[in-house]
Amino acid sequence: MKRTAILLILALVAIVPAAAQEDPPVSPLAVEKFVGLEGAWFTADSAPGLTLPVGQAVTYRLVVSNTSADAALTNLTLTDSLYPITDCEIPAELAAGQSFECVVGPIASEEVGQTVNVALATATTADGETLTALDSATLTTTEATGEVITIIGTLESIDGRRPHPWFAGSR
């Protein structure tokens, strides 16, 4: 009888840590930052991102989404690490499955180098929990040489339309 009880206790102890290691829940708040160039939108999440000559103007698009299936988010805020977004209308509430966007620019790069620009969104759940989401876009500027612009990132759209299929595989 004592052996059975000891084995049962050991089995329960072995199960408890496995349950404690579950993945944390996924936040329903998401933000995606895009860099726009001549009507095309790029994610530019990692370096070197979008490479352009100094003085080339770009536009930034920040998309904030509520990925929840059934709960609204309130007290939304949206900030950009480099540029003011005072002209953006941020809703008081974001219903489940909805999103809003903010467009900033055009902004011309003034210096040679790499710039990482971060968008930060916050919101509150119905339970009072504060959520935070962030995304960055990287822009690398070089001396103007008349060379071709290099784009490393994912093409989202061209003037709101999906790109031609041949574009998806180009490098």
Per DSSP (E only), the strands in 5-144 are: 29-37, 40-42, 50-53, 57-66, 73-80, 93-94, 99-108, 113-124, 130-142
What is 25-168's CATH number? 2.60.40.10
Most confident of 3-7, 56-60, 94-98, 157-161: 94-98
Q: Which residue intervals of the chain are DSSP H helices? A: 2-20, 165-168
Mean pLDDT within 58-70: 94
Residue 152 has pLDDT above 80, yes or no: no
Alpha carbon separation from 72 to 96, 120, 127 (Å, rounded):
5, 19, 11
Q: What would the pLDDT profile of 15-45 be if each residue is shown by its tens digit? A: 445 555 676 678 999 999 999 888 889 888 8
Q: Where are the domains of the chain?
A: 25-168
| Separation of alpha carbons 157 and 162, rounded Å | 5
How far is C-alpha 161 from the chain's CA centre? 20
- What is the arithmetic mean of pLDDT over 92-116? 93
Q: pTM of the prediction?
A: 0.71
Phi, psi of 3 (to 5 degrees): -65, -40
Q: Which two tokens stand for residue 160?
A: 């709101």
CA-to-CA separations, 42 to 25, 138, 143, in angstroms, rounded: 28, 10, 21
Residue 83, SS3?
A: coil
On average, the pLDDT of the chain sits at: 80
Q: What kind and span of H or E run contains 157?
A: strand 155-158
